[in-house]
Structure 1
Amino acid sequence: MEAYQTIQLKTGTVIHERYRIEQVLGRGGSAITYLAIQLDTRRNVTVKQFVQYEERFEQEVAILQQFSYLEGVISIVDSFYEDETFYIVMQYVDGVSLAQYLKDNKTMRAEDVIPLFLPIMKSLGLLHKQGMIHRDISPDNIIIDFHNRLWLIDFGAAGLSSSRRPALKERVSDQTVIVKAGYTPLEQYRKDGKIGSYTDIYALCATMYTAFTGHTPPDAITRIPKDDIEPIPTIPKWQWEALCKGLSVNPSDRYSNMGELIDGLTVASDPDIPVTVYPDQITDYTRQMLGYNNEEESVTTHTDKVLMKSRRYHIIFGIILVLLIGISAGITYYIRHNALNDSSKQKTEQSNTSNARTETATKDVSTRDTSTQITTETITETVTTQVSTTQIQSNTNQSSTEKDYQIQEDPDYDEFRLGD
């Protein structure tokens, strides 16, 4: 406690010229966790201050930064070394630990446990493929936020799987022993213990067991004489068997990777059971994405092989069925398309014939109109000529009459005479 008081940061302290410490969130064996404000963005962040610097922390940060997009895993914002102290700045999640939630509510609803843990299982599977093992999964290191989502925190104890240590030059002696009663698998009690995906699988299944029942499972060491554990009555038998397999004391009896655990917890292995839970979450692709080909971390039983073969047959049958439906739909479309084309051609021919008849009738009417016009014009000219002739004759007669009946008086004669 004295050591914490001497190095603990005070409220209002600014580190790295970017983060202002607000309050202490928690203390662990190797670090102190603070709530801080990032000054340039004004957002809340979590700052972890390590008591003692270790080179492997930087290796872990480098790997985790590549997976900041993973659902259910706290992302790293920054990391730096200042005043002989190593700091990691992480995303802040507003919520409570699963341990506190279970303390207040005893258990989680049985139907909610597996769906809530699925994102963490998938993200852990991808981390495992990079050789990173969390090694400290428990209700204390899982936060449930106010949107009812689970977040895996505290990668301070994370280490490399035994198969990846030589590649990254990490010695067995560099591995710190992390023990948490009820959640630590047997291989983790020894400093030279061989760890892998199955190590986190045990701890995660133990955490889910606590969420189902409200109490911590028996410690792995106490189960060595008899690998037995009290069953959970609120879940189906096949789900309980899958959880039990993940909680096996012997690592070789557990699932070898997270993909197999997901299948075991979500797909009923009994073909007589017509309904499986969360079918949209589970496919062979999920197992292939999260699975391993490493002989050290892959243990497949005869039953698993039979089930995998059965699933492949179902997939092949489904593909064939889809192809047959597609071919049938194509043939139907072809027949209907040809029928529509024939009908369209017939309508086009009828339309052309009708248009030709209409044009002929129009020409006939036009010819008749032209003849009528010519005849009318001839008659008009004739009548006009006749009228003009009559008018000339009438004018001539009128002039003659006026001449014949005009009386002229000659001054040289005593008699009246007619004019010339």
Structure 2
Amino acid sequence: MTQPLWQKSDVKIDARIMTFLAGDDVILDREFFLHDITASKAHVEGLANIGVVSADEADALKRELDVLADDFRAGAFVLDDRFEDGHSAIEARLTERLGDAGRRVHTGRSRNDQILVATRLWLKEQLGELEALCRAIAQVCLDRAAQPAVPLPGYTHLQRAVVSSTGMWFAGFAEAFIDNTLRAQQTASLIDANPLGTAAGYGVNLPLDRGHTTKALGFERMQVSPIYAQLSRGKFEMAVLEAIGAAMLDLRRLAWDLSLFTTAEFNFVSLPSEYTTGSSIMPNKRNPDVVELLRASYASVAAARTEIEQLLSLPSGYQRDLQFSKGSLFHGCRHGLAALALVPDLLARMAWNEGAMRAAIEPAMYATDVAIEQAAAGVPFRDAYRAAAETAKSAGEGRSPEGSLEARVSPGSGHDLCLDVLHQRLASLDR
């Protein structure tokens, strides 16, 4: 390992302790490394603006940072255990190439605000991906909801309840993912604050050009208080995981439906073959493994959030405990987004089995229609309810699923899914 940035002449380094301190930090930093380089360029420009580095030094530093980014992308530079972390690697590389100019690059900043800003840029990127995926899922659901509706049993308590339709099912998840799109945008606005220039959490005795770095890095605003910049670490990461988790909760319920609907007992849905696997022993089996793992994926996001929450039992100021937030953050975001990425194609290609769905609609499922019709004619609803309960088994006489849906005129239900309203909501989120 190269000499740590904090090394002093009177401090002895124990290799075992250094290994424990570093952990897998340098490996995790690969995920944030390009953002760290981007933020370093903005920091160099800010230092040049206040005369801490010369224009020539700034040009040289930015040039070498670009080369480092290119080398990293190409695999010519590997972030490995030669370095304590990605921040140390950047300074070591610049010092190797540029001497004193490289040694100046850390002026006015700490590894604390360095990881804050790199992580913040990465989080914005993850939320952009989350927004795009939720939007895509919502659009597929709207498209399929607009297709001719097929009657589908509606369930409460996993018991047959009333007549529903494939259009209503898709419209429900469309609206859910429209809200998830909005949640991603709102979370992006919450965290869109530049922490670079807050140093170790107490500012520095330099007139840092924080306005420049905020603009150069594309942040909406400057995170003003150095103390709050440190307090926000973990809090903002949790907010992003919560936004992903909200989408994953809806995905979990969707996957649960598909898990049930693909059983032989329901037989309502057929999945594309790519989304199923076979058994290692039973030749007859095709298993909905993808759907089951989509259903399970919320656990990874929730676990990541919980791990970070447990780390935040801390006083103000930076504490090294926060290093452990990187792995859980990366795993939770990556797993959640990877799961969501499979959903648009799955929903576009799944097929309904109309015959099985119609066969599962039994006469008693029209009893609610009967009770409400009597109430609309003037019978007190509770009396109509009791009368319909007594004749529930014959409630379907002279009725059809299509008739039940057409009579369901409350906004958003079978007669009018209000898809135009949902389309407008989704369109209003365009940026």
**Common fold: TM-score over 0.5:** no
TM-score, structure 1 as length reference = 0.24
**Higher-RCO chain (CA-CA 8 Å, sequence separation at least 6):** 2
Larger relative helix fraction: 2
TM-score normalised by structure 2 residue count: 0.23
Computing the radius of gyration from Cα coordinates, the structure with the larger value is 1
Normalized per residue, the structure richer in strand is 1
